[in-house]
Chain A
Amino acid sequence: MEQILATTLRSAAPLVLVATAGVFAFRAGIFHLGLEGLMITGAFTTVAVAEATGSVELGILAAIGVCMALSAVYWWVIGPLGANVIIAGLGLTSIGLGGTAFALGAIFDRRGSLFTDVVLPRPVSGITSGPGVIVSEHSILVWLTPLIVLAAWVVLRRSRFGLRLAAAGEYPFAARTAGVNPSIMRLQALLIAGALCALGGAELSVGALHNFTENMTNGRGFIAFVAVIFGAWHPIGAAFAGLFFGFADAIGIQSQINITERVPREFVLMIPFVLTIFAVWLGGLWRRRSLEAEAGYAELREPDY
């Protein structure tokens, strides 16, 4: 049981970080399907730079920089250039997945994965029995994740910036009247999201593991997006949703180890997706408005043809 809880925390941390990124984007009215791409870019850049310089801090800084730059380009494409948010987001994901796998071969002449010794510090480690196992062997980013979520909550719900962001996302017309430029708000939200995705990716590669592997995010960016919806685009809600999906993942891993388990692993892995369909459906019912009716979303999602 302790082992499952420990695995839950480790699986949940990257999900929660990326889900927080998704919340920022969602608040700005952006259906961010590029999270997966940014996350894997963050994972790769961290390992690549950490391996080259020997400094994990530099690796993370570089990852944040690269992901923010990509986010800025994404903003430019969907905002001023008027590209479709969904399609460009999926494109961004492919660029991330394809680009990192390609770069692995081009820069390090490797196929598959890249191992590194430079990893994040682990404040508590070495506990092998008792309840202490739950908090043992987690990277510093896992410990920081609750703080980041709390900070996101303060920023989104208790600050001028958060209010303006919500206005820009939900009702750009009103935001503009109040002297807020929705487009600039979207840029800021996407930049923050980019940085958070970089952290999520870094936790995956140098926090929980010691390597970068092709396609190592394995859909986590999408699950994080799902957590955003499931958590009603509230930072705390999304964090708990992420925690729950981390738990589902941990059970999946456990049942994989424990072959006698009756429920096939695939069915456990389906849980988040099935729940999400329910959540989106119920969410639409309760709110009496489809997500599509969100003005900010609609503004960016006008039919292209």
Chain B
Amino acid sequence: MTGGLQRVASTILLVGVSFLLTALILWVSGYRVGDVFSGVIQGSMTATGAATSSIRWAIPLLLIGMGVVIGFRAGFFNIGGQGQFYVGACSALVVTLGWRGGPAPLVVLCGTLAAVIAGLTWSLLPGYLRVRFGTDEVLTTLMMSFIGALVLQYLTAGPLRNPSGTGQTAASERIPEAFRITDSSGVSATVLLLVGGVAVLVWLLLERTRFGLAMTLVGRNPTMARWQGVDVRRVGLVNFALSGALAGLAGAVELYGPAGRLVTGFSPEVGFTAVVVALVGLLSVGGTVVAAVFFGGLQSAILFLPIVTDLPPPALVLLHGMVAFLVTVKFRAVRLRRTGPASEAPTG
């Protein structure tokens, strides 16, 4: 497994370089990097409630990131996690507010199911276009993501707006406390069991089933997969459905968990960060769990940091950008890919 080790090492190196570059920018801007670093440690681990908060932010990243792992494994650039997450949360909210008198477990179950179906649908449309017509999924999932954000904006500013709410940002009504699966910390045994279970299931699917193998095959070489008897279209559709379902589920967990209501444009970076998480996790389930906790910790820290130093939240967006910018760099490419014109023959 030297290849695997090499990849882990190069990823860690690239993430390290991204951090160094960001630290350099902070240093040039007059921040004391040491203070920021100690603030990050406190805000993600040692301060009261920091570890819980890290887990809370890791959960959506992990769920959406799992979807990204599934998508990218099969070579589908499903980058619409943000929109799938939003429509999932919106559907759960609609169900919950529409049936607020119902028995709590049933309502939450139905809401979660609605979220999963909404996310799945949001992902399946681009997926269908992709496998049926070869329509580029990068664009369509991105577009669906923007549309999803507008759906959220419409619902929170329009029909579901909290009428008694004041302030500039539109927010929905709160769901009744009985329907919450965590307190505002966002961590409870139910949620941890759910997320852990999902991770295990995804791992089993990808690493221990024929279907997971078929997905990986399709990702490596669709033509060869077809020759080996894989139904590429079916694999593609299921793949998109699973990615979307996980992102939708993340939306439901967010609503029933820490949020309790929806605010327009909440967690605006989570879909993109989940892509970063999956790539840093080398598209493996275990790696993604580690990366999700890591980036969840950073998210938690950035909210804590104002106590230690006045680092503004955009610094985190900058850092995520740096990591995404560099994480897919291939070291081997520098030399080995220059083997001559044969490597440039069209592959499509």
A-to-B contact residues, CB < 8 Å? 31, 33, 37, 74, 77, 80-84, 86-88, 90-103, 105-107, 111, 171-173, 176-177, 182, 214, 219, 222, 226, 229, 264, 266-267, 269-270, 273-274, 276-277, 280-281, 284-285, 289-295, 298-299, 302-305
- Least CB distance, B85 to chain A, in whole angstroms: 16
A167 to B327, CA, bound (A): 29
- Least CB distance, B16 to chain A, in whole angstroms: 16
Find chain B residues with CB under 8 A from A172 CB.
Answer: 344
Q: Are B348 and A294 in contact (CB under 8 A)?
A: yes
Jot down 7 A-B pairs with beta carbons below 8 A, ordered by A: A81-B330, A98-B315, A98-B319, A274-B143, A276-B143, A277-B144, A281-B129
Interface digits, B305-320 against A, CB 8 Å rule (1 contact, 0 not)? Answer: 0000000101111111
B136 at the interface (CB under 8 A from A): yes
Quick one: which of B73, B77, B134, B220 has the most chain A CB within 10 A? B134
- Least CB distance, A16 to chain B, in whole angstroms: 19
A105 to B139, CA, bound (A): 33
Q: Count CB-based A-B contacts (< 8 Å).
A: 199
Whether A83 contacts B322 in the complex (CB less than 8 A), given A273-B146, A290-B135, A303-B220, comes out as no
A79 to B126, CA, bound (A): 28
A284 to B154, CA, bound (A): 31
B272, B315, B316, B330: the one within 8 Å of A82 (CB)? B330
Quick one: which of A102, A107, A111, A290 has the most chain B CB within 10 A? A102
Q: When A and B form their complex, which 10 residue pairs have the shortest distance between CB atoms, in order from nearest?
A: A94-B321, A82-B333, A98-B317, A91-B324, A290-B134, A293-B348, A91-B325, A98-B318, A101-B314, A95-B321
Q: Are B150 and A105 in contact (CB under 8 A)?
A: no
Q: Are A105 and B312 in contact (CB under 8 A)?
A: yes
B139, B219, B316: the one within 8 Å of A276 (CB)? B139
Q: Are B347 and A302 in contact (CB under 8 A)?
A: yes
Find chain A residues with CB under 8 A from B272 CB.
Answer: 90, 94
Stretch from B53-61, B172-180, B204-212, B275-283 that touches the partner: B275-283
In chain B between 127 and 166, which residues have their CB closer than 8 angstroms to a CB of chain A?
129, 133-136, 138-140, 142-144, 146-147, 150-151, 153-154, 157-158
Q: Are A92 and B325 in contact (CB under 8 A)?
A: yes
Q: Are A37 and B321 in contact (CB under 8 A)?
A: yes
Find chain A residues with CB under 8 A from B73 CB.
Answer: 305
- Least CB distance, A244 to chain B, in whole angstroms: 16
B346 at the interface (CB under 8 A from A): yes
Q: Are B346 and A173 in contact (CB under 8 A)?
A: yes
Find chain B residues with CB under 8 A from A103 CB.
Answer: 29
Q: Are B325 and A219 in contact (CB under 8 A)?
A: no
A88, A266, A292: the one within 8 Å of B154 (CB)? A266
Find chain A residues with CB under 8 A from B323 CB.
Answer: 91
Find chain B residues with CB under 8 A from A290 CB.
Answer: 133-136, 348
